[in-house]
A and B are shown apart, each in its own frame.
Chain A
Amino acid sequence: MLVRVDAEAGVPPYEQIRVQVRDAVRSGELAAGAKLPTVRRLADDLGLAVNTVARAYRELEGDGVIETRGRNGSFVRAQGDATERAAQEAARSYADTVRRLGVDATAARAYIDAALRA
């Protein structure tokens, strides 16, 4: 998932980051449990001040979109009710497993379809 910040857009950079991450979580592009880059690294990549990115992360955390686990970093929070959150966590775990096994995305989706049909 890419984040683009336009310095000439008229929208504050922290707001651009916040909205793009929020929309990516809503659309499923950023899955529950996905780890966000550190504030310093994202600030470096976007050419922004650390405080600007930190503000975006604080607002996302306040909105319940992400959660910060201390020194482990910031992660996308599972959205929706308990059932949806559990399903999102299971999907994340499956994605990590197939990546580790070197299975490509098309085959991984085919396995899910087959399992759902069974």
Chain B
Amino acid sequence: MRVAPLAGPLASNVIEVEIPSDVFFGGVVTFFVVVVAILGALMWQLARTFSRRRMDDDLARWAQRYNLVIADELVEPLNRYLTLRTRGGLIGLLVVAGPIMTAMLVSLSDSDTPFGVATSIAMFGAIWTSSFVGSLIGGAFGRRAAADAGRSTRTARITALPLSSLVDPLESRLARLSALVSVPLTVLVFALSRAPWTNGRDVVGGMGLGPLAALSVAGAVITLAVPSFTARAQRARALSGDDNALAWSDALTSRSIRDLLAIGFVLTGGSGLIGLVSIGATFPADWRTASLVALNAAAPLGIVLLVAVTVVIAVRSPERHVQRTLWPQFALNPNLDRPSRYSEVSAEADAAGASATRDEPTADAEHRRDAQ
């Protein structure tokens, strides 16, 4: 069985190999089983969202992830929000992953389908992005669940929070850095690929470099829109109620903002990775060895970078940023995080508030005195 040759400018650098038919058939069957298993698992997860007991378990896991206590009256609205958000993410995955994985399966038997490294990265990026988009949409449907049953006290925030209070600054800085690197890289690669010495090689591994640059710009636009989305997201509060409801509202707003940052990061990071892999397309047409070396060096480097960024962010437990920064008093597990400079800032603010109330009579006491 001959392997379908790579499409694009690097095709002439690849040596065709003969793979035994039974090995190839085994590979196709394995891939088919994996695709069916993944799609089946996604549909099973979607069916689980209709089970109240399963969603209660998921809510308990959410409380641990965000390290926030859940008051009794918040259980129902949070369950509703979580259910809709989870369903949105899964439906988004199924809508995109299903056709893509099927197309990949079909391409294994169709030598004319240009499936290369670049398109594979783009498709995995599309699958990943679809889950964030679906979660955002599901979360938007789940917002505004009233949560004031049995509580007479309602809390509102007068001034909007800055982005750094809702999202770990490192996460937002990395997203901006990704956009800053990716846009010039992909635009430059596209521009140079159309230079006279490249013989117009502007398609790499089935991926057009022009659309790649456009994707990178789209990701950068989304990343830059996050601060204004932050202000808008806070205007539509997820849960109304007392302090605990506000804490969860802040956590859910933070989650939506992080979803948007993740979409921007996947677009810029993915297109930047493909741009890095496609650097060989900017070399003169007869520099075949150099193009191959660039491809073989850039691909693992790009993947290592992406994995490193993911690990760095994950280690900082970004889901707990809101609890650490704004709501230490609602920690489900107070010993989970060592004091950060953000908790020192909020402790400072608490101390300033405490000294102000110590030095002056409380508002209620003053009003009652005036009334007497």
Q: Which of A9, A16, A22, A29 contacts B356 (CB 8 A)?
A: A29
Can you name 20 A-B residue pairings with CB atoms under 8 Å? A1-B159, A2-B158, A3-B155, A4-B153, A4-B155, A5-B154, A6-B153, A7-B154, A11-B367, A16-B363, A16-B364, A19-B363, A21-B158, A27-B360, A30-B158, A45-B156, A47-B146, A105-B345, A106-B341, A106-B345
Task: Using A46-B156, A102-B173 as known contacts, say yes or no to A41 and B235 having CB atoms under 8 A apart.
Answer: yes
Q: How many residues of A contact B (CB 8 A)?
A: 37
Contact A2 B155 (CB under 8 A): yes
Contact: B153 with A104, CB < 8 Å? no
8 nearest interchain CB pairs?
A: A45-B156, A19-B363, A7-B152, A8-B152, A27-B356, A1-B158, A46-B154, A6-B153
Q: A2-B246, A19-B367, A102-B169 are in contact. Are A45 and B240 (CB under 8 A)?
A: yes
**Residue in chain A with minimal CB distance to B246:** A2
Q: Is B162 an interface position by the 8 A CB rule?
A: yes
B85 interface contact, C-beta 8 A = no
Residues of chain B contacted by A104 (CB below 8 angstroms)? 164, 169, 341, 345
Binds B, one of A32-40, A77-85, A110-118: A32-40
Within the assembled complex, what's the spacing in Å between the Cα atoms of A4 and B363?
A: 12
- Chain B residues within 8 Å of A19, by CB: 363-364, 366-367
Cα–Cα, bound, A34→B161 (Å): 12
User: B338 at the A/B interface (Cβ < 8 Å)?
Assistant: no
CB-contact partner of B159 in A15, A34, A105, under 8 A: A34
B237: interface (CB < 8 Å)? yes
Assembly CA distance A2 to B156 (angstroms): 6
Return chain A residues, CB-CB under 8 Å to B162: 99
**Closest residue on chain A to residue B363 by CB atoms:** A19
Does B148 sit at the interface, judged by CB under 8 A? Answer: yes
Chain A proximity mask over B314-358: 1 for CB below 8 Å, otherwise 0: 000000000000000000000000000100110000001100100
Majority SS at the chain A contact face: mixed
Chain B residues with a Cβ closer than 8 Å to the other chain, count: 32
Interface contact A29-B367, CB-CB below 8 Å:
no
Write out the residue numbers on chain B whose beta carbons fall within 8 Å of the beta carbon of A27: 356, 360
Given A102-B169, A102-B173, verify A5-B153 contact (CB < 8 Å): yes
In the bound complex, what is the Cα–Cα distance between A7 and B237 (angstroms)? 20
* Alpha-carbon gap, A41 to B243, bound state (A): 17
Q: Is A91 at the interface (CB under 8 A from chain B)?
A: no
CB distance from A88 to the nearest CB of B (A): 15
Please indicate the chain A residues that have their CB under 8 angstroms from the CB of B368 in the complex: 11
Q: Is A44 an interface residue (CB 8 A)?
A: yes
Nearest chain-B residue to A15 (Cβ)? B367
Partner of A6, one of B152, B156, B169: B152
Q: Give CA–CA (A24, B349) in the complex, Å.
A: 13
B157 in contact (CB, < 8 A) = yes
Given A5-B153, A37-B156, 17 extra CB contacts under 8 A: A2-B156, A2-B158, A4-B154, A6-B152, A11-B368, A19-B363, A19-B366, A19-B367, A20-B363, A23-B363, A27-B360, A34-B159, A37-B157, A42-B156, A44-B237, A44-B240, A102-B173
B356 to chain A: which residues have CB within 8 Å? 27, 29
Residues of A within 8 A of B235 (CB): 37, 41
- Cα-based distance from A104 to B162 in the complex (angstroms): 10
Nearest Cβ on chain A to B231's Cβ, whole angstroms: 10
Give A36 to B235 CA distance when docked, in angstroms: 12
Interface pair B156/A35, CB less than 8 Å apart: no
Closest to A43 in B: B156
B190 nearest CB across to chain A (Å):
30
In this complex, what residue of A is CB-closest to B345? A105
Minimal beta-carbon separation of B145 from chain A (angstroms): 13
